[in-house]
Structure 1
């Protein structure tokens, strides 16, 4: 018997604890980008999103935020959500809970300088979701943001192949798409698909903010 995957299991939890899909009531979807900000790849991606009136969510790594604050300022100024993707992208399953929390809190403090919010949507590095962290977040009424579709743009596949796979899948209402802004692959995929989604009447929105 095939066991359910992590995405399926997280989808059984309340959205406030593990978000795998956004608002399903509207013809809208959510592009999310991990591992930035990147001075080479994030600015042209922002240009492309602006051209198509698309909002998105950027899950940022703290030490990259320190290196490239101007890009973070631009992300916020252009109406996108900034999220927490840890301070230096460690293997969370190899860290004690105290160090996991330290990674989250340190990055929250950095991001607060840009949007004034005390805490932010959090996505764990590499999609690892330690149970102790999930339990701690549940006590704090905080959630982990996951995804419903993985673009696989972190693998060295041709952009046309990645775009065709997402094109075949289509965007369901509330779809959360995992992408990355540390290579040109996300931009390449979206140059092909953003015009199609616009013609299909799909609004691309930023995720709602993490409740304070």
Structure 2
């Protein structure tokens, strides 16, 4: 992808601009990402996570004044529902980013290829789903590189720009290392407990729980391992559009973050 190459160059330039802050002493204190939810289309309160993530050029939401949202999915394993989700995204012409593990790419190469062929982005979610707060810098680099190589082997995506830490666990060191390697850490402001494939709530409840958290600029985190989500996704897209929201891609968001700097 030519666009990914351009983004890579710009990300490298941004990294140079932030070099002074990146060489400051970093801590190894581990964090499990979270926030205080707000409702009525208000973004959540991230506390000190927000400036820490921003310090290393990551992001967790888009422009809070623009009614645009970003769909992202974390895929560690397959339960037979991703193809349905892809069908809906294609029908509705909605872009998404799929954060994949190495296990998923190994086992579901055809689905991974389809994601890219249909215009979606593949992000790195750690080859071995490692807790980077317990990994050395060399372990992080190898884990990232191993998964990137798998993604490039099976798809036309020639560069992996975005990274999401496994289980949302990170520390300042992991943010610094991934940033210096050219990755953009992507967190989120809307999420529900939807990763248990054996727990049925019904698509309406899943939809209601998601919609009540949505706000302008939201990065929405979903999983594709439940029938509820597969049934819900078409209703989510329709309802958000009814409320005046548009769907953007993380590449759009990265451009918006980078261009004001040049």
TM-score of the aligned structures, taking structure 2 as reference length: 0.69
Contact 2:206 2:229 in 1 (8 A): no
Q: Structure 1: 5+ residue runs without aligned partners?
A: none
- The C-alpha deviation readout for 1:46-100, integer Å capped at 9, x for no partner, is 0112222211110011222122211111111111111111112233333333222
> 1 CA distance for matches of 2:222 and 2:94?
15
Matches for 1:37-116 after TM superposition, within 5 Å: 38=78, 40-113=80-153, 114-116=155-157
Contact 1:37 1:65 in 2 (8 A): no
TM-score of the aligned structures, taking structure 1 as reference length: 0.84
Structure 1 window deviating more from structure 2 (115-124 vs 67-76): it is 115-124
- The C-alpha deviation readout for 1:123-174, integer Å capped at 9, x for no partner, is 01100013221122343453211111112212546143332122222x3222
Q: In proportion to residue count, which structure has more helix?
A: 2
Q: Provide the residue aligned with 2:19 in structure 1.
A: none
Q: Structure 2: 5+ residue runs without aligned partners?
A: 1-32, 36-45, 256-262
From the CA coordinates, give the structure whose radius of gyration is larger. 2
Contact 2:57 2:179 in 1 (8 A): yes
> 2 CA distance for matches of 1:116 and 1:49?
19
- Aligned residues: CA RMSD: 2.5
Q: Provide the residue aligned with 1:135 in structure 2.
A: 176
Pairing 1:163–2:204 present = no
Contact 2:116 2:157 in 1 (8 A): no
Contact 2:179 2:185 in 1 (8 A): no
